[in-house]
Structure 1
């Protein structure tokens, strides 16, 4: 399942994209935003696979958003203006959809994103990542990670047989972890969905560890586990 959001200031354009997304079972629309400014906090706090991004928006344009924010998601630009195509490709967007968007053209853009995400998944799932800890890089198999806990300036990565402390932040860690299995559930916790034993009253149990699910992250988390 590919989790996506729409950033678009035209209600009719949002609705058209929503209809297109609903026609593709592999796409899961998480949220919509009518301005780039409103979307920044969500982008910084959540692991999103794909962003449909309008260019011409008030206050903060799509190009300004891409240039000013560290975005790990795939991006498909949606715009009525052809002159932004070169700039979009310079910013390494996946595709450029010119309005009015047809469903056939939408499908082609989706297929391109799906192909790129599948390549990433192949290299990440069950693979080893390297974490900066003290004065070395330590290798961890992603399939062994239970959860990650924020502890002040540090993040504690809890695996099946050890814990590792790192100064890498949640966003940096989410970038190197497989997005289909790891999800932020709280300001201080990121969990491996495959390691969850049970969920009760907004509390997750993993190997006798109780992890809270906050209101701000809960909606996205519950949508993600239902789509797996």
Structure 2
């Protein structure tokens, strides 16, 4: 379990991060602060793994706060101004989230922290102990309307683009989400999913057959786009077709 706090002087921004944290099983929100000085006082007494830290705050900025802390927890900066990005990375923070923060981008940042802490655990603990720090995360949450849907990677048959929306197709559901292919590709394991067309991503293990430029997945015929043929052929070569 990764313990974390949020520090932001904007109540709405705190609410968004808190809601996102609640959906991630390996995150535990210990406390939220709208005052950086109070957060510093807390961190001098308590050990925390991760801080979601706003940069622009009154009294003490996020960058000033980070310079005070010793030792430093993992830090994910949150801000409405991209001009601070370079300075954030110079301070060796794990990631930098630009407001308004999408859930998919939040997940990507949190995964970086998760992977980093797991690597540290691998070098510090026995294999039995490491399993506590390194749970298998085989699903994600996606927003559809006003609801967050839990989607297991191994349930996805294919993803289809429909205008500004993506349709995630599983045997049990069709989930429409206002999302881009670029955004969804960032959270999909690249060894299990492949883009085969400007309008389609398929799950490799769900491919039933291939004939010419068409892929069959669960009775759905999906075209292979010209610009995606090479990468798809490379995938087939790895699967050692005989």
TM-score, normalisation: structure 2:
0.51
Residue 54 of structure 1 is matched in structure 2 by 54
Name the SS for the 1:5 alignment partner: strand
Residue 20 of structure 1 is matched in structure 2 by 20
Aligned mates of 1:82, 1:70 — CA distance in 2: 26
CA offsets 1:81-101 (integer angstroms, 9 cap, x no match) = 011111111110000000000
Residue 233 of structure 2 is matched in structure 1 by none
Aligned mates of 1:41, 1:123 — CA distance in 2: 31
Residue 69 of structure 1 is matched in structure 2 by 69
By how many angstroms is 1:72 displaced? Answer: 2.6
Q: Is contact 2:4–2:49 with CA below 8 Å preserved after alignment?
A: yes
Aligned mates of 1:54, 1:25 — CA distance in 2: 23
By how many angstroms is 1:46 displaced? Answer: 1.4
- For the pair shown, the structure with the greater C-alpha radius of gyration is 2
- The size of the alignment, in residue pairs, is 129
Aligned mates of 2:55, 2:81 — CA distance in 1: 8
Aligned mates of 1:41, 1:122 — CA distance in 2: 31
By how many angstroms is 1:123 displaced? Answer: 1.4
CA offsets 1:63-119 (integer angstroms, 9 cap, x no match) = 111112214310000000011111111110000000000000000001111000101
1:9–1:118: structure 2 CA closer, same or farther, 3 Å change rule? same
Residue 102 of structure 1 is matched in structure 2 by 102
Q: Is contact 2:66–2:72 with CA below 8 Å preserved after alignment?
A: no
Residue 111 of structure 1 is matched in structure 2 by 111
Unpaired segments ≥5 residues, structure 2: 134-242
Q: Is contact 1:54–1:78 with CA below 8 Å preserved after alignment?
A: yes
Residue 93 of structure 2 is aligned to residue 93 of structure 1: yes
**Relative contact order, higher structure (CA 8 A, sep 6+):** 1
Residue 5 of structure 2 is matched in structure 1 by 5
Unpaired segments ≥5 residues, structure 1: 128-142, 144-179, 181-228
1:6–1:71: structure 2 CA closer, same or farther, 3 Å change rule? farther
Structure 1 runs, 4 residues or longer, greater than 6 Å off: none
Q: Is contact 1:43–1:71 with CA below 8 Å preserved after alignment?
A: no
- For the aligned residue pairs, the C-alpha RMSD in angstroms reads 1.7
